[in-house]
Amino acid sequence: MPAARPPSQRDACPCGSSRPLTDCCGRYLAGDALAPTPEALMRSRYSAYVLGQADYLAATWHPTTRPGAITPGDPAPRWLGLEVRRVTTGGADDGTVEFVARYRVGGRGHRLHEISRFVREDGRWYYVDGVLAE
């Protein structure tokens, strides 16, 4: 993944919240706080993809499903936007987030429409896996 650049107070968070990065996902990416909900974790993971923070992606991926390496692809996608469509909680310690992420690779536009599963263990949320949706 490309080297991460330090967030600026004025940068809008890539997750689409319209808040400054440092007041939104930036605090999770920096390790200053844990994402409190599946949606917050999903948004921060999207921001980590945009900013090239593979370590954060690995740390927030459940150990039972985490891949050996997280790479951006060749060529790397340019992330364009995130739309959260639905958030569902199955209980205090699990939930799903349906989202659409738009990106470009080699000048062509693409979209990733996924329903992601999250679990909470020892007070920390993890991404488990996702199912592609149409």
pTM above threshold 0.85:
yes
Q: Work out how many domains the chain is built from and give that number.
A: 1
For residue 13, being part of any structural domain is answered with no
User: Which helix (H) or strand (E) is 129 found in, with range?
Assistant: strand 124-132
Dihedral through CA 115, CA 34, CA 102, CA 65, nearest 10? Answer: -50
Q: Is the pLDDT of residue 4 over 50?
A: no
- In degrees, to the nearest 5, what angle opens at C-alpha 75 toward C-alphas 28 and 43? 20
Domain containing residue 86: CATH number: 3.10.450.50
What is the per-residue pLDDT across 35-76, written as a single tens digit (0 to 9) for each?
999 999 999 999 999 999 999 999 999 999 999 988 888 888
Pairwise CA distance, residues 80 & 121, whole Å: 31
Output the average pLDDT for the chain: 92
1 in any annotated domain: no
